[in-house]
Amino acid sequence: MKYSKATNYALHTILNLALSKSSKPIGVQTLAEKLNVSPTYLSKILTKLVKEGMVSSVSGANGGYSLTRGWESISFLDIIFAIEGKSSLFECGLDHGPQCQIQKVMLKSEEKMEEELRRQTLADLAKTSE
């Protein structure tokens, strides 16, 4: 069980966008170079973030990507959910009701992690990284 590379790329790209003071959008070409990853692949990842409303994109010459207003409150969890999906890490397929301790424990522990990821926002990240 690992986070996908795509999640890694998404986090780094968003951090790059947050740190860029430019008011102009940044092209995927530029972003991809920093991460040493192919532009078309990164483009797919960015499109997911656009669909979740964290990033805005503009086509055409001088186009590119930028964070949407309100970006400061985007959390790590938002980004991770956008890439990995929102479903639970533990899925047994069955449902043996409320007396099932296994599921209870697994879900609670997962919730602890998510709580922490939800607490960490881009604002915090940008502040301590600049």
The residue (of 95 and 130) whose beta carbon lies closer to ligand SF4 is 95
**Interface positions with ligand SF4 (CB under 6 A):** 12, 92, 94-96, 100, 102-103
Residue 30 contacts by C-beta under 8 Å, 6 or more apart in sequence? Answer: 64
The residue (of 40 and 101) whose beta carbon lies closer to its own copies is 101
Among 32, 53, 105, 123, which residue interacts with its own copies (rule: CB under 8 A)?
Answer: 105
CB of 73 to ligand SF4, least distance (A): 22
Work out the number of other CB atoms within 10 angstroms of the CB of residue 90: 13
Given a contact cutoff of 8 angstroms between Cβ atoms, the answer to whether 45 and 6 are in contact is yes
Tell me the backbone φ, ψ of residue 95, rounded to 5 degrees: -145, 100
CB of 68 to ligand SF4, least distance (A): 23
The residue (of 50 and 126) whose beta carbon lies closer to DNA is 50
- Reading the block at residue 17, the tokens are 């966008």
Q: Which does 116 bind (CB under 5 to 8 A by kind): ligand SF4, DNA, its own copies, none?
A: its own copies
Closest C-alpha among 78, 81, 67, 71 to residue 118:
78
